[in-house]
A and B are shown apart, each in its own frame.
Chain A
Amino acid sequence: MHPPTVSCSAGAAATRRLLLRPLRPAILPSSRLTPAPPSRSLSSTTCRPITSSPSPFNNKNNNRPTSLHRPQQKQQQQQQQPLRTYHSHTHPAPPGPFTPAEAHLLSAAYLHVPAHGFTPEALALGARDIGLLDISPAVLPDGGAFALIRWHLYFQRTCLAGKVHDIFAGEGEGGAPRTVGERVEALAWARLRGNEGVVGRWQEALAIMAQPSYVPASLKELAQLADEILYLAGDVSVDPSWYTKRASLSTIYAAAELFQTTDTSPGFRETRAFLRRRLDEAARAGGAVRAVGEWVGFNASAAVNVLRSKGVRI
């Protein structure tokens, strides 16, 4: 279990991509048209959805992982600063960088999410696992519940790049995807499967994400996911239709995710069918019908519905 490695390499990928984005297709390296197999291989074990919680807390647990490293962390912060300013002009900021200390704690807590949800319970258990105190998660913004959700979103999103090779080689169900559209579907499906371990907890998470102070960050994550999928699928359009595609993909993904929280069919078959239907509809309508306004509207109403289901009167 060494997540900082995962986040670092993924961060590099994000950087490369964001630097490429403003370029015209003509001068893009041709490898972008057919995504090259990832240069590094994220072990699929690392990125597999978490399905089981680790053994319950054990007092005599003394095989503690290495300690957090301070100097590294300061260095990283300094390196990230200029990057962020650069991107803020054209694109959403890169994934909220998790400091190494934060990543260490969140990745430990993440293993407890299937059993305990995105809660202080999971955070405190994770802290104990790595030899920290019950109070340690207090160092996270707002006590950490939303940070844990962001960790899930970030982790699963960045895992996609490592799975691309397998997906495109046709190792998933349904054979090798050929068109950009098929690849988008395969990638969105792979991402949905990343939710498997936390599906039972996802409605709670949506309720947290719908809190006003978290909405912007949540929408940003969704947009970044759409970016990632379109990029990995080899979509090279740099014209305005790119924004429409991103918006409609975001809408469809969010809807499929909501659908998934109530899906009890084996292997989430119904969710997959739902995803395919919605993507087909969008393709038939030319992909240009869904405006950003509709997308935001959808997210707002989905959030309201979730909150209502939690007993909030809206």
Chain B
Amino acid sequence: MTEEGRIVLSVLGALTFCAILAFFAIYFVRIKRPTHFGYETVTESEKRERVAGVFTSVAESYDRMNDLMSFGWHRVWKDHFVASLNPGFSPLTAGPDPRGPQHILDIAGGTGDIAFRMLHTAHVLNANPAVRVTISDINRAMLTVGKQRSTTLPASQQAALSFVEANAENLSQTRPLHPYPSPLEPTSTDAHGRQEQAFFDPATATSSIPSNSVDLYTVAFGIRNFSNIPAALREAHRVLKPGGVFACLEFSKADRFPLFNAVYKEWSFRAIPLIGQLVAADRDSYQYLVESIERFPSQRDFRDMIVDAGFVVAGEGYEDLTGGVAAIHKGMKPRA
């Protein structure tokens, strides 16, 4: 390629880059940023509402990050993820499962994106109202948002939902959701006067998820945040019934298509932190997002980790979505 050719190409590349950047900048500015209320005097109930509001926007910012990393595809992936698991399906000819109703555990379930889809598929599409779903997360503020969102569901679906605070790495220490903030545990502030994250403290555990009690364990865009992934996989294996299925949806490696991968890398390493800085004034979170995805093992390596935890897989054990930008991994706990 000639020198001019190269220059023309890089100019074109830069222009495209700016165009995409501008597009997302506009997308962001349209979203109202959280208002600061730290110095106002407000009543306790007002405060609770406002804090919940901040976390709604935390949840929104998770959504927004997912949008950026997936070009908006993550909702389609979630639909596909749930549809391909077909929760609540039971053979018509043989009647309901003699081994009792299905129990689905959605780990790192945050605001309920996956759990609500599961409920809809099981209760409505598969007409199986016996299916129960537990949403679990380490962050009870996220769970509180999820619980609020769930109030728009039909009563029968709400009744089949439960919310549990737990660290995915140790599911024998849990407690039912204490809404955040609660009058019992007033929220604290850190040195900068910011609301502290509402992470679950295992010292406050009151219950546990029993071994061999879950039919389907799901985790969507959560597992790469865990500090000890093998421990989480072992816990998944413990709580699943023999024959139960582990299913994970997570960002992955698009390196099977080098050109696409190069563009995607460029986008995620350069554009996304920049967007985070310019628009959300939060470069660090966005930098972390990109790096956590980069650090996460490749499709094959993660599949091997699942097998090491005691699961059996079918075929390759994973399915690439959108060229590998995300992947679904599945494993089954074999009968002992």
**Considering the complex, which residues of chain A in the window 133-162 have a beta carbon less than 8 Å from any beta carbon of chain B?**
133-136, 138-143, 147
The 0/1 profile, CB within 8 Å of B marked 1, for residues 50-73 of chain A is 000000110100001001111001
List chain B residues, Cβ under 8 A from A67: 334-336
A135 touches B243 (CB 8 A): yes
Query: Chain A's nearest CB lies how many Å from the CB of B61?
Result: 31
List chain B residues, Cβ under 8 A from A128: 91, 94, 97
Query: Chain A's nearest CB lies how many Å from the CB of B324?
Result: 15
Query: Chain B's nearest CB lies how many Å from the CB of A240?
Result: 31
A73 touches B102 (CB 8 A): no
B91 touches A124 (CB 8 A): yes
Decide: A135 near B245, CB < 8 A? Known: A74-B307, A96-B315. yes
A133 touches B314 (CB 8 A): no
Query: Chain A's nearest CB lies how many Å from the CB of B306?
Result: 11
A270 at the binding interface (Cβ < 8 Å): no
The 0/1 profile, CB within 8 Å of A marked 1, for residues 325-336 of chain B is 000001110111
B310 at the binding interface (Cβ < 8 Å): yes
B89 at the binding interface (Cβ < 8 Å): yes
- In the bound assembly, the distance between CA atoms of A73 and B245 in angstroms comes to 17
A134 touches B91 (CB 8 A): yes
A102 touches B315 (CB 8 A): yes
Query: Chain A's nearest CB lies how many Å from the CB of B117?
Result: 14
Decide: A121 near B92, CB < 8 A? Known: A68-B334, A135-B87, A139-B313. yes
**Considering the complex, which residues of chain A in the window 54-107 have a beta carbon less than 8 Å from any beta carbon of chain B?**
56-57, 59, 64, 67-70, 73-74, 96, 98-102, 105
The 0/1 profile, CB within 8 Å of A marked 1, for residues 86-106 of chain B is 110111111001110010000
B294 at the binding interface (Cβ < 8 Å): no
Which of the residues A56, A68, A99 comes within 8 Å of B335, measured between beta carbons?
A68
A136 touches B91 (CB 8 A): no
A134 touches B102 (CB 8 A): yes
List chain B residues, Cβ under 8 A from A205: none
List chain B residues, Cβ under 8 A from A98: 314-315
A131 at the binding interface (Cβ < 8 Å): yes
B244 touches A135 (CB 8 A): yes
A19 at the binding interface (Cβ < 8 Å): no
Query: Chain A's nearest CB lies how many Å from the CB of B336?
Result: 7
B245 touches A136 (CB 8 A): yes
Which of the residues B87, B90, B331 comes within 8 Å of A139, measured between beta carbons?
B331
B331 touches A131 (CB 8 A): no
- In the bound assembly, the distance between CA atoms of A141 and B80 in angstroms comes to 12
Decide: A133 near B97, CB < 8 A? Known: A57-B91, A67-B335, A68-B334. yes
B315 touches A136 (CB 8 A): no
Decide: A127 near B243, CB < 8 A? Known: A102-B315, A143-B84. yes
A121 touches B98 (CB 8 A): no
List chain B residues, Cβ under 8 A from A138: 84-87, 216, 245, 247, 330
- In the bound assembly, the distance between CA atoms of A56 and B328 in angstroms comes to 34
Q: Which of A59, A67, A128 has the most chain B CB within a 10 Å cutoff?
A: A128
B313 touches A101 (CB 8 A): yes
B314 touches A102 (CB 8 A): yes
A116 at the binding interface (Cβ < 8 Å): yes
B241 at the binding interface (Cβ < 8 Å): yes
- In the bound assembly, the distance between CA atoms of A132 and B245 in angstroms comes to 10
B165 at the binding interface (Cβ < 8 Å): no
- In the bound assembly, the distance between CA atoms of A294 and B93 in angstroms comes to 43
- In the bound assembly, the distance between CA atoms of A141 and B216 in angstroms comes to 16
Query: Chain A's nearest CB lies how many Å from the CB of B313?
Result: 6
B244 touches A101 (CB 8 A): no
Name the CB-closest residue of A to B96: A134
- In the bound assembly, the distance between CA atoms of A69 and B99 in angstroms comes to 23
**Considering the complex, which residues of chain B in the window 214-269 have a beta carbon less than 8 Å from any beta carbon of chain A?**
215-216, 241-245, 247
List chain A residues, Cβ under 8 A from B84: 138, 142-143
- In the bound assembly, the distance between CA atoms of A134 and B245 in angstroms comes to 10
Name the CB-closest residue of B to A140: B314
A125 touches B93 (CB 8 A): yes
B243 touches A136 (CB 8 A): yes
B63 at the binding interface (Cβ < 8 Å): no
A120 at the binding interface (Cβ < 8 Å): yes
B113 at the binding interface (Cβ < 8 Å): no
B97 touches A134 (CB 8 A): yes
Query: Chain A's nearest CB lies how many Å from the CB of B126?
Result: 9
List chain A residues, Cβ under 8 A from B92: 121
The 0/1 profile, CB within 8 Å of A marked 1, for residues 6-44 of chain B is 000000000000000000000000000000000000000
Query: Chain B's nearest CB lies how many Å from the CB of A197?
Result: 18
Query: Chain B's nearest CB lies how many Å from the CB of A11?
Result: 15
Name the CB-closest residue of A to B247: A138
B335 touches A132 (CB 8 A): yes
List chain B residues, Cβ under 8 A from A59: 98
Query: Chain B's nearest CB lies how many Å from the CB of A241?
Result: 35
B169 at the binding interface (Cβ < 8 Å): no
Name the CB-closest residue of A to B313: A99
**Considering the complex, which residues of chain A in the window 196-232 have a beta carbon less than 8 Å from any beta carbon of chain B?**
none
Query: Closest 3 A-B residue pairs measured CB to CB?
Result: A132-B243, A101-B312, A133-B243
- 15 A-B residue pairs with CB within 8 Å: A56-B94, A57-B93, A99-B313, A101-B314, A121-B93, A124-B89, A134-B89, A135-B87, A135-B215, A135-B243, A135-B244, A138-B247, A139-B245, A139-B313, A140-B314
Binding site for A on B (CB under 8 A): 84-87, 89-94, 97-99, 102, 215-216, 241-245, 247, 307, 310-315, 319, 330-332, 334-336
Binding site for B on A (CB under 8 A): 56-57, 59, 64, 67-70, 73-74, 96, 98-102, 105, 116, 120-121, 124-125, 127-128, 131-136, 138-143, 147
Question: Besides the contacts A57-B91, A147-B315, what 15 more A-B pairs have beta carbons closer than 8 Å?
Answer: A56-B93, A69-B334, A70-B311, A73-B307, A99-B312, A99-B313, A99-B314, A101-B334, A132-B243, A132-B332, A134-B91, A135-B102, A136-B245, A138-B87, A141-B315
